[in-house]
């Protein structure tokens, strides 16, 4: 399962943005599968709905709208590839070594934390938890994003 | 054998670095946006795994907020991208020199 997740996200290596977007959809769906494995059912559903649904439709819509045909032909600069590979490879080595360094001896056997919508909702809307103000802030953020997008797409920048 | 915490964390780290590689190497703004989404998802995976293995739901609450903010960010970013494309007729980062003196 995890290996399929790795193979799916090889999208930085395909030229066409549409191919990248479709691979990203596959990555999102396999990520939702991993969430299900972690018993986070509500988050898996939200992942499918928001990412694989809304965000990717937005991406594909913009790709089709912009018609990026000729841009595939541009070559990548060699030093950018070298720099990117070195940076990302170094970071992955450091992260994996850190994770392996302080691995604790298998903490849970009977993990009782489940992620049904009810307990997560009770956590999110509990006034004693720090999440309630965040919920209100998130609603304001969504409203602001909506207003901003409408304004950006209406106004003619000169 | 069931996957342990470090398996999820390693998967998350590799996914994050793939996203980072995409951000550095790709020259198309749309693909850079997609790589950013990949990195956010890697962070989500790490948070959910840690919340599961620590028997604590707070990580999942955080992931909920990350998903919401990421959706808003993508909407605004793509709107800016479309507005800029309308003006310059390009979506490459090399052409993004509007602020150069």
Nearest CB among B13, B24, B54 relative to A92 is that of B13
Q: Is the pLDDT of residue A120 over 70?
A: yes
As to burial, measured by CB atoms within 10 angstroms (0-12 exposed, 13-18 middle, 19+ buried), residue B89 is exposed
In angstroms, the separation between the Cα of residue A73 and the nearest Cα of chain B is 12
Average pLDDT over all residues of chain A: 75
Provide the 8-state DSSP code for B98: T
Supply the pLDDT for residue A31. 86
pLDDT band at A112 (very low <50, low <70, confident <90, very high): low
pLDDT band at A104 (very low <50, low <70, confident <90, very high): low
Supply the pLDDT for residue A143. 92
Work out the average pLDDT over A87-91.
82
H, E, C per residue of B81-96: HHHHHHHHCCCEHHHC
Spatial distance between the Cα atoms of A125 and A140, rounded to a whole number of angstroms: 16
In angstroms, the separation between the Cα of residue B100 and the nearest Cα of chain A is 17
Please give the C-alpha separations between residue B61 and each of A45, A144, A149, B34, B48, in angstroms, as whole numbers: 14, 22, 26, 23, 9
Nearest CB among A37, A87, A113 relative to B56 is that of A113
Contacts of A111 in chain B (CB under 8 A): 52-53, 55
Look at B53 and A24 and tell me if their CB atoms are within 8 Å: no
Supply the pLDDT for residue A42. 84
Supply the pLDDT for residue A12. 47
ipTM of the complex: 0.84
Spatial distance between the Cα atoms of B24 and A103, rounded to a whole number of angstroms: 30
Look at B68 and A141 and tell me if their CB atoms are within 8 Å: yes
Low-confidence ranges of chain B (pLDDT < 70): 1-2, 101
Contacts of B65 in chain A (CB under 8 A): 131, 134, 138
Model confidence pLDDT, tens digit, residues A142-151 = 999 889 888 8
Supply the pLDDT for residue A108. 55
Look at A17 and B31 and tell me if their CB atoms are within 8 Å: yes
Work out the average pLDDT over A13-23.
72
pLDDT band at A61 (very low <50, low <70, confident <90, very high): confident
Please give the C-alpha separations between residue A101 and each of A10, A97, A155, in angstroms, as whole numbers: 27, 6, 53
Mutate to test the interface with A, among B9, B26, B80 (most CBs of A within 10 A): B26
Nearest CB among A111, A129, A134 relative to B65 is that of A134
Contacts of A12 in chain B (CB under 8 A): 18, 21-22, 25-26, 31, 35
Supply the pLDDT for residue A106. 56
């Amino acid at each position: 399962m995890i290996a399929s997740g790795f193979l799916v996200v090889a999208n930085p290596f395909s030229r066409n943005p549409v191919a990248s977007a479709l691979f990203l959809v596959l990555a999102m769906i396999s990520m939702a599968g991993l969430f299900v494995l972690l018993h986070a059912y509500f988050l898996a559903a939200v992942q499918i709905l928001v990412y694989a649904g809304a965000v990717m439709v937005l991406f594909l819509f913009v790709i089709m709208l912009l018609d990026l045909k000729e841009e595939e032909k541009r070559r990548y600069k060699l030093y950018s590839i070298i720099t990117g590979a070195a940076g990302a490879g170094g970071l992955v080595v450091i992260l994996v070594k850190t994770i392996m360094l302080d691995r604790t001896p298998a903490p849970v056997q009977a993990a009782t934390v489940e992620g049904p919508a009810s307990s997560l909702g009770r956590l999110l809307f509990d006034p004693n938890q720090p999440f309630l103000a965040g919920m209100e802030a998130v609603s304001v953020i969504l409203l602001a994003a909506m207003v901003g997008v409408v304004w950006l797409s209406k106004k003619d920048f000169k | 054998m069931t996957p342990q915490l470090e398996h999820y964390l390693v998967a998350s780290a590799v996914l994050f670095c793939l996203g980072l590689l995409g951000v550095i190497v790709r020259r198309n703004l749309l693909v850079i946006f997609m790589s950013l989404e990949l990195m956010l998802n890697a962070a989500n995976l790490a948070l959910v795994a840690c919340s599961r293995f620590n028997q604590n739901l707070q990580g999942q609450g955080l992931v909920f907020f990350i998903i919401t903010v990421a959706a808003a960010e993508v909407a605004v970013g793509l709107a800016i991208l479309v507005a800029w494309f309308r003006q310059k007729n390009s979506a490459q980062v090399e052409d993004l020199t509007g602020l150069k003196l």
